[in-house]
Amino acid sequence: MRDNRCSGAYLKYMYFRNTKLRVTTAPQRNCSLRNYSSPPGDVKSLQSVINPHISRIRNIGIMAHIDAGKTTTTERMLYYSGYIRTLGDVDDGDTVTDFMAQERERGITIQSAAVTFDWKDYRINLIDTPGHVDFTVEVERCLRVLDGAVAVFDASAGVEAQTLTVWRQADKHQIPRICFLNKMDKNRASFTYAVESIKQKLKTKPLLLQLPIGEAKTFRGLVDVVTKEQIIWKPTSDLDDGKNFERKLLLETDDPNLFQEVQDARNTLIEQVADLDDEFAELVLGENSENFDLIPADKLQSAIRRITLAQKAVPVLCGSALKNKGVQPLLDAITLYLPAPNERSYEFLQWYKDDLCALAFKVLHDKCRGPLVFVRVYSGSLKPQSAVYNINKSCTERMSRLLLPFADQQIEIPSLMPGNIALTVGLKQSATGDTIVSSKASAIAAARRAGRDAGEKKRSVSGVDSLLLAGVEIPEPVFFCTIEPPSMARQQDLDNALSCLQREDPSLKVKPDPDTGQTILCGMGELHIEIIHDRIKREYGIETYLGPLQIAYRETILNAAQAKDILDKTVGDKRHCVTAEVEVRPRSGKGATTKPIIIYADNVSEVLPKELQGAIENGITNSCIQGPLLGFPVQDIDVTVQSLTVHPDTSHTMVSACVSRCMQKALKKAGIQILEPLMNLEITVSEDHLSAALADLAQRRGNIQEIQSRQDNRVVVAAVPLAEMMGYSTVLRSLTSGSATFTLELASYQALSSQEQSALLQRRMGLIIKINFNRRHVTSFMIHCGLRFPTASRARIIFWSPML
């Protein structure tokens, strides 16, 4: 029976043979306490539980389009490995990895969850990642520290929009992968269709290691193409949990058609592998050239492993996680074909030798223990009660404890060796993407080695910069809205809550509105902002008010322009005097970057000290954060600093201020064009509802690019301005009786037409009106109109609105 206690902090004890480990649970999470049993009986000692040999570790992620079955597959893995005694279900909201209240209520994964378990003689550190496009950053930061991944597909849908995104992310981090065609039990599930779509859309070479026995309702098992064994799941009398299956050689007499199919599939696999692996090709061309049946399964498996690690092809398996079929062979394949941490090559490891080098990749906030920082150790070891040095923050921090993660529960451990992932307690400064080493001296020594290396290779790597493990690029948010506490007295609490949430979620941006002083929340999508709002209420007990969701437009310039500015100010007894002259030009080519490219005229660069250059660049960058027309970031501009004269006593702050003012003048002169986010939209809709969906798209300035067939459904691929997509899910649901699904992803920024631009300007600027309100009226007025109010001065409000 499942224990559903929720509440404050508690401790329980886990026994590894005779050693008792303390297990703690994050207190603030609304969780159902799961029944974790002790690890499998063949674990020899505590040491082998905590830090298995590196070759026996698999750090893997589960990634896919939304609803492909990642969490269901993960839950089965935990069950078969013995870490949970009862199977949870996404639809019942009781899986181990979806432990946040919002995840359980909505049946979707929002944050990645790490679990550690053993399968046969291997330690698997697994991260279940979200599939919704609003949480793509969450996927990427996990991929950054993983050595391999399982891409899960809905076998009735093949490759879907978000699969492409996560596949590209895995390509970027060069992660070897296995494909798992899930939902083989579903109506319209098709192994052939899914494989074909992997070939076509992911442009990869699938290696079919299994064939399904039956499809949709008749799906009952698999054939292992490598060993020619059939695997059939047999329900026991009262429990069909998938633990009971039979593996035996497939004989021609069992099923002559299937036998022939498997024979052909094995021959094709051998030819494919021989094409991609020279060592195996020699074997095939030598003594076994006449009869492929004689090629030993282990030789074929080793070659498939080499090919997978080199990312020349991807093994494909299939099953139905929900119907408890195919997960144990998937676990075997993870240990067989995905790399151990020491099989991945990282250039930086040679600079650290045996010193500690770790990457912080995720932060969780625990109300009692403070920030819990997830780290992956690449070299050296981590020990509790020790000091570590954060290279990004240039600070030394003390780590008090080390914990192994089991979703929302953790086990305290005495050390962490290379290749492993764990949680640290006590690191207050470290954030996602920070590189952690043992001491400042160790960082300097590694920087020296890296510098020597760079010199030998004639590359320019500047000292400590080369030591930073690449973090994760955080895309600019596309939505924003104001957020208000219920009363001024709770503003500080709200600020604290937001800063904790920001550390957990680097894609969440919080900034003050320079006009009104209000807090602005910027996020990756409607769902993202909704979840943050909900978390503030549940986890921090603050009922906040959100302004209407607005689009994060961009600004750019139409022409080149020059401007000159003189700043002459005396502060105290010091005279600060700067004269700056800049030219701005639109950048050709599509970059969509808000970072201006800065060039110096020869007469400036010749005499420019480094600190002064920093001040100039600060001024230029700051002026691009808020464009001159509507205050949106300015993108795609080149800047030339044509001249600069600075009085000897002038502070760098004054230089920045003067350059920034000069830039604002130049930008205004150059003429501003507003750019709006253009989204890639993919709608999967039945033939019956296709015309309704297309007619609606036409009214949303949608540009339909392609209509594809996906089994019995149609997939509409279109580009639509984000401004037209507010509340689209409700409209699409009513148009298609809830049968259609869609994904939306930022494609680019496009220029607004002059009419659209002036309509936007009117909407946003309107009239300047002064009103006197008391506090209660302000709040209710704000909810109804969603206008922009200054938090600081409640009584006298100045805002812009065309409505009044």
Shortest Å, Cβ 164 to ligand GTP: 15
Which range of residues in 317-325, 533-541, 599-607, 671-679 is near ligand GTP by CB under 6 A? 317-325
Token output for 127: 């991260």
Which range of residues in 66-74, 566-574, 605-613, 640-648 is near ligand GTP by CB under 6 A? 66-74
647 is in an annotated binding site: no
Shortest Å, Cβ 110 to ligand GTP: 8
- Binds ligand GTP by CB under 6 A, chosen from 29, 34, 58, 70: 70
Cβ proximity to ligand GTP, 153 vs 280, nearer residue: 153
Report the distance separating Cα 399 and Cα 428, nearest Å.
Answer: 9
Shortest Å, Cβ 325 to ligand GTP: 8
Shortest Å, Cβ 75 to ligand GTP: 8
Shortest Å, Cβ 340 to ligand GTP: 26
- Whether 549 and 645 have beta carbons less than 8 Å apart is answered as no
Shortest Å, Cβ 155 to ligand GTP: 8
The residues pairing with 83 across neighbouring beta strands, listed in sequence order, are none
Annotate 639-685 with three-state secondary structure: EEEEEEEECCCCCHHHHHHHHHHHHHHHHHHHCEEEEEEEEEEEEEE
- Whether 430 and 51 have beta carbons less than 8 Å apart is answered as no
- Binds ligand GTP by CB under 6 A, chosen from 21, 23, 63, 90: 90
Q: Which amino acid is at 775?
A: R
24 is in an annotated binding site: no
Number of Cβ within 10 Å of residue 301's Cβ equals 18
Cβ proximity to ligand GTP, 177 vs 788, nearer residue: 177
Q: How far is CA 12 from CA 24, 406, 750, in A?
A: 7, 13, 56
Pattern 99-138, binding to ligand GTP, x per CB under 6 A? --------xxx--------------------xxx------
- Binds ligand GTP by CB under 6 A, chosen from 125, 165, 197, 320: 320
Q: Determine whether 464 is exposed, middle or buried from the number of CB atoms within 10 Å of its CB (0-12, 13-18, 19+).
A: middle
574 is in an annotated binding site: no
Shortest Å, Cβ 160 to ligand GTP: 11
Q: Which residue is nearest to ligand GTP (CB)?
A: 131
- Whether 708 and 685 have beta carbons less than 8 Å apart is answered as no
713 is in an annotated binding site: no
Contacts of 11 (CB under 8 A, 6+ apart): 22, 23, 24, 25
204 is in an annotated binding site: no
Cβ proximity to ligand GTP, 188 vs 509, nearer residue: 188
- Whether 778 and 794 have beta carbons less than 8 Å apart is answered as yes
Using rule CB under 6 A, residue 23 touches ligand GTP: no
Pattern 620-659, binding to ligand GTP, x per CB under 6 A? ----------------------------------------
Q: Determine whether 685 is exposed, middle or buried from the number of CB atoms within 10 Å of its CB (0-12, 13-18, 19+).
A: buried
- Binds ligand GTP by CB under 6 A, chosen from 52, 61, 69, 339: 69
82 is in an annotated binding site: no
Pattern 210-249, binding to ligand GTP, x per CB under 6 A? ----------------------------------------
Report the distance separating Cα 251 and Cα 255, nearest Å.
Answer: 7
65 is in an annotated binding site: yes
Token output for 305: 């492993």
- Binds ligand GTP by CB under 6 A, chosen from 31, 68, 149, 178: 68
Instruction: Specify the residue for token string 């320019």.
Output: 460
Shortest Å, Cβ 527 to ligand GTP: 11
The residues pairing with 678 across neighbouring beta strands, listed in sequence order, are 721, 748
Total residues at interface with ligand GTP (CB under 6 A): 24
Cβ proximity to ligand GTP, 106 vs 714, nearer residue: 106
Token output for 170: 């895995």
Contacts with ligand GTP in 141-200 (CB under 6 A)? 182-183, 185-186
334 is in an annotated binding site: no
- Binds ligand GTP by CB under 6 A, chosen from 26, 32, 67, 685: 67
- Binds ligand GTP by CB under 6 A, chosen from 77, 322, 423, 716: 322
Contacts of 458 (CB under 8 A, 6+ apart): none
**50: phi then psi, degrees, rounded to nearest 5:** -75, -50
Shortest Å, Cβ 94 to ligand GTP: 12
Shortest Å, Cβ 489 to ligand GTP: 37
70 is in an annotated binding site: yes
132 is in an annotated binding site: yes
Shortest Å, Cβ 182 to ligand GTP: 5
Shortest Å, Cβ 165 to ligand GTP: 12
Contacts of 62 (CB under 8 A, 6+ apart): 70, 73, 74, 126, 127, 128, 129, 149, 150, 152
**Percent helix, percent strand, percent coil in the chain, to nearest 5:** 35, 30, 35
Cβ proximity to ligand GTP, 100 vs 787, nearer residue: 100
Token output for 116: 């550690």
182 is in an annotated binding site: yes
Annotate 31-57 with three-state secondary structure: CCCCCECCCCCCCCCHHHHHCCCHHHE
Contacts with ligand GTP in 511-570 (CB under 6 A)? none
Cβ proximity to ligand GTP, 60 vs 411, nearer residue: 60
Report the distance separating Cα 449 and Cα 87, nearest Å.
Answer: 51
184 is in an annotated binding site: yes
Q: How far is CA 123 from CA 46, 119, 151, 516, 605, in A?
A: 13, 6, 20, 53, 56
Cβ proximity to ligand GTP, 69 vs 485, nearer residue: 69
128 is in an annotated binding site: yes
DSSP one-letter string for 169-233: HHHHTT--EEEEEE-TTSTT--HHHHHHHHHHHH---EEE-EEEES-GGG--EEEETTTTEEEEE
Number of Cβ within 10 Å of residue 612's Cβ equals 16
Which range of residues in 19-27, 320-328, 540-548, 673-681 is near ligand GTP by CB under 6 A? 320-328
Cβ proximity to ligand GTP, 124 vs 658, nearer residue: 124
Q: How far is CA 22 from CA 14, 40, 406, 668, in A?
A: 6, 18, 13, 63
Shortest Å, Cβ 333 to ligand GTP: 17
Residue 568, SS3? strand
Which range of residues in 20-28, 225-233, 318-326, 346-354 is near ligand GTP by CB under 6 A? 318-326
525 is in an annotated binding site: no
Report the distance separating Cα 420 and Cα 436, nearest Å.
Answer: 14
- Binds ligand GTP by CB under 6 A, chosen from 25, 71, 507, 713: 71
Cβ proximity to ligand GTP, 130 vs 619, nearer residue: 130
- Binds ligand GTP by CB under 6 A, chosen from 77, 222, 321, 338: 321
What are the start-end ranges of the H helices in 375-517?
440-456, 491-504
What are the start-end ranges of the H helices in 67-187?
70-80, 101-106, 136-143, 161-172
Report the distance separating Cα 662 and Cα 567, nearest Å.
Answer: 10
- Binds ligand GTP by CB under 6 A, chosen from 24, 59, 72, 519: 72
131 is in an annotated binding site: yes
Cβ proximity to ligand GTP, 24 vs 507, nearer residue: 507
- Whether 514 and 552 have beta carbons less than 8 Å apart is answered as no
Annotated binding site for GTP: 64-71, 128-132, 182-185
User: What are the binding residues?
Assistant: 64-71, 128-132, 182-185
**Residues of the shown chain interacting with ligand GTP in the complex, contacts defined by CB under 6 A:** 64, 66-72, 90-91, 107-109, 130-132, 182-183, 185-186, 320-323
